[in-house]
Every structure is written in structure tokens, then in C-alpha cells.
């Protein structure tokens, strides 16, 4: 199984969770709920991807992590395979989605 195939399993679950959270956010709250989240999530994604690029390249260069060349796509950011960045994107989508689905930001009735 290639790394992209493995990522696909995780990303499908993340995508389904994200879509469900978006529906809950729009239906259960103000219609601009998703728009208000766009900037914070975009900044978080940029920072997390930059840190992933930095630390993955360090870990690979010192030999802490290795990849089977036959299982990677061949696309790299530095020496880190592109497949590694799927987990950073998954984290940016999954955590706020689960938070939304669990109702953490709903106001309690008074």
C-alpha cells in the first residue's frame, strides 16, 4: 500500500467529519460561522505546514525517519515526501470539526 493510499483512508474520515461539522455550523448557528473560521484555520494551516516542512526535513536528514522509495509519489518539499503533509492538513480540519460536532461552542440556555 502506498503512502497516498494510506493517507486516503485517514483523509476520507477527516473530510466526512469536516463536512458534517460544516453542516452543523451552518444549520445550527449563524450563516457566517464558516467565514469567521476561515482566517484562523488558514493561519493555523500555514504555520503547521511550515513546521511540518522544517521538522520533517530535519528528521529525514538525520536518519530518524525513512521512506520506501517505491511507496512514495516522488514529489518532495525539500527531502520530505509530499505525503507527509496530509497529516498536518488532517489535523487542521479534524480538531475544529470534532470540537464543533461535540457542541463545545454552543451556548447553554439560561
Alpha-helical runs (H) found in the chain = 3-28, 33-61, 85-101
For residue range 20-75, list pLDDT tens digits in order.
988 888 787 656 767 777 888 999 999 999 999 999 999 999 999 999 999 998 89
List CB contacts of 88: < 8 A, sequence separation 6 or more: 45, 48, 49, 51, 52
Residues belonging to the chain: 110
d(CA 48, CA 57): 14
pTM metric for this prediction: 0.79
Amino acid at each position: 500500500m502506498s503512502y497516498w493510499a494510506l493517507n486516503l483512508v485517514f483523509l476520507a474520515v477527516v473530510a466526512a467529519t469536516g463536512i458534517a461539522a460544516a453542516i452543523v455550523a451552518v444549520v445550527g448557528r449563524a450563516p457566517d460561522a464558516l467565514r469567521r473560521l476561515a482566517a484562523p484555520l488558514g493561519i493555523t494551516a500555514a504555520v503547521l505546514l511550515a513546521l511540518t516542512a522544517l521538522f520533517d526535513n530535519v528528521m529525514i536528514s538525520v536518519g530518524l525517519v525513512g521512506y520506501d522509495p517505491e511507496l512514495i509519489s516522488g514529489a518532495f518539499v525539500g527531502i520530505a515526501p509530499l505525503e507527509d503533509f496530509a497529516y498536518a492538513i488532517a489535523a487542521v480540519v479534524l480538531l475544529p470539526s470534532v470540537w464543533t460536532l461535540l457542541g463545545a461552542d454552543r451556548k447553554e440556555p439560561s
